[in-house]
Structure 1
Amino acid sequence: MKLKAVTAVVAALTLAACGGEQPKEVTADVPHGYVEGAEEAAEAQSRLIVADTETGAVRVVDLITEKVHETGQVDGVRALTGDGRFGYLTGRDGAVRVIDSGAWMVDHGDHVHYYRAKVRDVGMAPGQRPLAAYSDPAVSALSYPDGTTTLLDRAQLDKGSVAELGKITREPHAGVAIPYGGHVLASVAEPGKPLARGVRVHNRQGKAVAEIEQPCPDLQGQAVTRRGVVFGCADGALLVTEKDGAFTGAKIPYPRSVSAQERATAFFHRPGGATLAARAGETAVWSLDVGRRSWQYVETGPVAAVNAVGEGGPLLALTRDGTLRSFDGSGKEQTAIPLLTPEATAADIPSIQVDTTRAYVNNPLSADVYEIDYNDNLRRARTLKVGGKAGHIVETGR
């Protein structure tokens, strides 16, 4: 009853704060961003989707109550990607199962809504072996190695079913598509080239409507920030922004000549954060400050996983010896704690999930997920027992 009372108060306050933002179908009694069957809360309702690589068991862990929800099984699970609410799991046969964690946020820039609902198995999504999944309130985009992207109706996903809105088809390449600014930004490649050369703008049904003039050779890696969408290029990063329906691109070049082995090919960051982390070869990390449009090269030692807390926060790196390390804005190491065994990092599936106060690191050889207070010398705040083995994890509700 206490949660419901708080929920009612927050709903009333946030509805007033949203003013005229509500869609037409939302009544005066329903807060903006509401989904039927959900409760609004005063704080993030963070959860972890956890997949056991040995048994295929999928679990959702409530990070507030520590309750573990058993949520089906994916035979031979080999990959897990998330979009802030849903988890997309790839099994041995390449098929994609969608899990609703029941926790999400709606970010309006000047304020945020947090929601919680029941955990459920939504079912199978079309396509095989997705490379990435990104969503906005209207569209979920699943991108595949053959150069196609399936656009799913997010409202139907919210209700527990899978329905296609459209499809983006281009030259086969390891590409990506990201809903942004009421449209979808999709990589585009030249015939016979395995990597993209730039970014094109599509509508939500998949039709191309514009092209970003700034090129992005050998596009690999992407991130959605409050300052725009970042794409990794051979010569730096491409930042795409939108204003009044117009999309523009600006290059953030590397500070020096960078080899193919050193360039950033995958970005990690706190959702919405404008500081990104990426491996720079095997023994260092790039930190990209999108606001300042600058790169920093940080020597960390052999890297197993990285992430960035955000502006003013530390860069986190899990090194191959199992040590978790934090680095300040100048690249100087602040703290280091032993966390995993070298054998656990050799599996190449530990990850660092970051929210506004904590980081979560999975031990793929045990049932343990470590909650780390990165503002308190990497203090281990909790050890969460998730059952089975914590092979893959993503955090939702942030």
Structure 2
Amino acid sequence: MKSRINRVIGRAAALVASAALIASCGGGPADDVTTATDAAEEEVPHGYVEGAEETAEAQSRLIVADEETGAVRVVDLITEEVFDVGRVEGVRGILGDGRFGYLTGEESVHVVDGGSWMVDHGDHVHYYRAEARDVGPIAGEEPTNVSSDPVVSAVSFADGTAELLDRARLDEGAVDRLETITGEPHSAATVAYREHLLTSKAEAGSGVADGVEVRSRDGEPVARIEEPCPDLRGQATTRRGVVFGCADGALLVTEDDGAFAGEKIPYPQSESAAERAVEFHHRPLSTTLVGAAGDEGVWVLDVTEREWRHLATGPVVAVNAVGEGAPVLTLTNDGVLHALDPETGEETAQSALLSAEAATAEPAPVIQVDTTRAYVNDPSAGEIHEIDYGDDLRLARTFAVDGRADHMVETGR
């Protein structure tokens, strides 16, 4: 399996080397070099992806699943079309990695290609759209996390394992397992980061993770993060590094010139009675994270400033964060959507969006956010509400799907 991953990485390196060689050739006239370079660019344009259309803006879509019928649909937020992409028997949850939806089914996880995604090169971003489609199942139950890079997609499970999938094959519409990471039983978390994998690690017989291990893309251990993370639960990838939730705060893992390090961001002692965050929500790659603090409110973690803030909101049904300096969004059990100042917790806007019955039903609604809008599902009504959070939570559009809208994740971000 290691050789397969190395071949994938090798092909990418060869393309880069070839481009550099063409650009640096000095044996002939300058015009000849320019012509060769131009011809190569015409043959394979920068950012080209076979079978996909590159666009100038994000092509956001929603993957939506119905628990009663198993129907899975994709809502195109640009064209407003709704596509049927198959059924998943016994569906009861969904995770996403920006392009694919991973739906919990009966004794398996089913992969659906949302057909929209972005490729972040740091100084610029490419956006793509293609046909939404069913990909297929992965053996395993109770997925806890999914994470992808251009080479590997990692699906973690509650039994302490993680399946590593060939990302290029997923892009082509096929599930191809590369390797399985095994470990002590616990709610696992494996995150693809900087050409490596960060995996949760549990001591024998403990049943809970207490730290993070660095592995190569083929699953082989490379190093262990020295900073402990007792009772590790929850993770998020940001532009500043990967955050793992710990009983005593958050562990931020970063990489510098191939070396990985961990930094603890402890909870403030003044709020030590508040329940810890066990999962994080945020706009993809944003450095502002939020999580419920039990029934007392929400935690806001500013990764850039290495600072926690506790907002005393009372119990919330769903929560998400738009980004640095932008509002925190909460949905309360009366069906009201609130916009809160992330520094003070002061309410800046509210909207009576759902009925109390819809807000408190199971499965609970969720809030998905991107750079301009938020999306809140009303499961029983089969509706998704698009909210302009920059305009006092104005209801911009409502999308309807046949049946229920029990589970939802956004792609193309």
Same-fold call, TM cutoff 0.5: yes
Count of residues paired in the alignment: 378
For 2:381, the equivalent position in structure 1 comes to 366
Q: What is the SS of the residue equivalent to 2:83?
A: strand
Q: Render the CA deviation track for 1:289-311: whole Å, top value 9, x for unaligned.
A: 00001011112222100000000
For 2:182, the equivalent position in structure 1 comes to 169
- Alignment of 1:95 onto 2:108: yes
For 2:204, the equivalent position in structure 1 comes to 191
- Tell me which amino acid in the other structure corresponds to 1:395: E
Structure 2 CA distance for partners of 1:33 and 1:195, relative to 1, 3 Å: farther
Q: How far 1:127 moved relative to its partner?
A: 2.0
For 1:122, the equivalent position in structure 2 comes to 135
Q: How far 1:194 moved relative to its partner?
A: 1.9
User: Does 257-266 or 338-347 show the bigger shift?
Assistant: 257-266
Could you tell me how far apart the structure 2 residues matched to 1:108 and 1:160 are? 24
Runs of 4+ aligned structure 1 residues displaced above 3 Å come to: 20-27, 31-34, 257-261
Q: Determine which of 352, 364, 372 is the counterpart of 1:349.
A: 364
- Tell me which amino acid in the other structure corresponds to 2:58: A
Q: What is the SS of the residue equivalent to 1:216?
A: coil
Q: What is the SS of the residue equivalent to 1:335?
A: strand
Q: What is the SS of the residue equivalent to 2:168?
A: helix
Q: How far 1:24 moved relative to its partner?
A: 5.7
Structure 1 residues not aligned, in runs of 5+? 1-19
Q: Determine which of 377, 384, 389 is the counterpart of 2:399.
A: 384
Percent identity between the two aligned chains: 61
The answer as to whether partners of 2:107 and 2:139 remain within 8 angstroms in 1 is: no
Could you tell me how far apart the structure 2 residues matched to 1:238 and 1:32 are? 36
Q: Render the CA deviation track for 1:326-359: whole Å, top value 9, x for unaligned.
A: 1013211111111111211222421000000000
The answer as to whether partners of 2:110 and 2:137 remain within 8 angstroms in 1 is: yes
The answer as to whether partners of 1:269 and 1:307 remain within 8 angstroms in 2 is: yes
Could you tell me how far apart the structure 2 residues matched to 1:46 and 1:263 are? 32
Q: Render the CA deviation track for 1:61-90: whole Å, top value 9, x for unaligned.
A: 100001000010111210111110000111
Structure 2 residues not aligned, in runs of 5+? 1-12, 20-39
For 2:172, the equivalent position in structure 1 comes to 159
Q: How far 1:25 moved relative to its partner?
A: 8.4
Equivalence map 1:164-313=2 (5 Å): 164-256=177-269, 262-313=275-326
Equivalence map 1:312-331=2 (5 Å): 312-329=325-342, 330-331=344-345
Could you tell me how far apart the structure 1 residues matched to 2:397 and 2:252 are? 37
Larger helix fraction of residues: 2
- Alignment of 1:394 onto 2:409: yes
Could you tell me how far apart the structure 2 residues matched to 1:300 and 1:172 are? 35
User: Does 251-260 or 356-365 show the bigger shift?
Assistant: 251-260
Could you tell me how far apart the structure 1 residues matched to 2:374 and 2:109 are? 27
The answer as to whether partners of 1:49 and 1:60 remain within 8 angstroms in 2 is: yes
Structure 2 CA distance for partners of 1:38 and 1:331, relative to 1, 3 Å: same
Query: Once superposed, what is the RMSD of the aligned Cα atoms?
Result: 1.7
The answer as to whether partners of 1:313 and 1:328 remain within 8 angstroms in 2 is: yes
Q: What is the SS of the residue equivalent to 1:157?
A: helix
Q: How far 1:110 moved relative to its partner?
A: 1.2
Structure 2 CA distance for partners of 1:129 and 1:316, relative to 1, 3 Å: same
The answer as to whether partners of 1:304 and 1:348 remain within 8 angstroms in 2 is: no
Could you tell me how far apart the structure 2 residues matched to 1:339 and 1:23 are? 50
Q: How far 1:39 moved relative to its partner?
A: 0.8
The answer as to whether partners of 2:363 and 2:406 remain within 8 angstroms in 1 is: no
Q: How far 1:126 moved relative to its partner?
A: 2.7
- Alignment of 1:145 onto 2:169: no
Equivalence map 1:38-77=2 (5 Å): 38-77=52-91
User: Does 26-35 or 288-297 show the bigger shift?
Assistant: 26-35
- Alignment of 1:85 onto 2:99: yes
Q: Render the CA deviation track for 1:150-183: whole Å, top value 9, x for unaligned.
A: 1101000001111122221111111110000100
Q: What TM-score, normalized by structure 1, do the two folds share?
A: 0.92
Q: Determine which of 114, 131, 134 is the counterpart of 2:147.
A: 134
Q: What is the SS of the residue equivalent to 1:303?
A: coil
Q: What is the SS of the residue equivalent to 1:152?
A: strand
Q: How far 1:43 moved relative to its partner?
A: 0.3
Q: What is the SS of the residue equivalent to 2:75?
A: strand
- Tell me which amino acid in the other structure corresponds to 2:108: A
Q: How far 1:387 moved relative to its partner?
A: 2.1
Structure 2 CA distance for partners of 1:366 and 1:21, relative to 1, 3 Å: farther
The answer as to whether partners of 1:270 and 1:310 remain within 8 angstroms in 2 is: yes
User: Does 125-134 or 264-273 show the bigger shift?
Assistant: 125-134
The answer as to whether partners of 1:21 and 1:32 remain within 8 angstroms in 2 is: no
Could you tell me how far apart the structure 1 residues matched to 2:17 and 2:316 are? 49
For 1:108, the equivalent position in structure 2 comes to 121
Q: How far 1:94 moved relative to its partner?
A: 2.6
